[in-house]
């Protein structure tokens, strides 16, 4: 049986969204909040991560997050379970 891991839905901080990155030797300007799912400029994007360090790591791999609509769709389509806070 797989061990369950607790993850959180976390907002990608603005300073991370605006951070430029290097792609094939070229500096790419930081995205200002485009969703990696629908490409809509939502201004707020979300990732599922263990903590802020993990959030940064995941963002640096994909340079994007998902808008609320796409995050909800992904959670719904993939059967994630959400534990209610105490």
Instruction: Give residues in contact with Zn ion (CB under 5 A).
Output: 35, 37-38, 67, 70
The tokens 């806070």 sit on which residue?
A: 85
Q: Which is nearer to Zn ion, 30 or 37 (CB)?
A: 37
CB of 54 to Zn ion, least distance (A): 21
Report the nearest approach of Zn ion to the CB of residue 45 (Å).
8
Residue number with CB closer to Zn ion (28 or 38)? 38
Closest residue by Cα to residue 12 from 82, 71, 66, 76: 66
3-class SS string, 9-33: EEECCHHHHCCCEEECCEEECCCCC
The CA distance from 32 to 5, in Å, is 30
Q: Which is nearer to Zn ion, 14 or 41 (CB)?
A: 41
CB of 12 to Zn ion, least distance (A): 13
């Amino acid at each position: 049986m797989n061990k369950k891991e607790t993850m959180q839905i976390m907002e990608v901080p603005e300073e991370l969204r605006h951070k430029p990155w290097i792609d094939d030797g070229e500096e790419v300007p930081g995205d200002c909040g485009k969703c990696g799912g629908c490409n809509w400029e939502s201004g707020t994007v979300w990732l599922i991560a263990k903590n802020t360090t993990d959030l940064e790591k995941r963002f640096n791999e994909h340079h994007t997050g998902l808008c609320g609509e796409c995050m909800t769709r992904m959670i719904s389509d993939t059967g994630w379970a959400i534990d209610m806070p105490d």
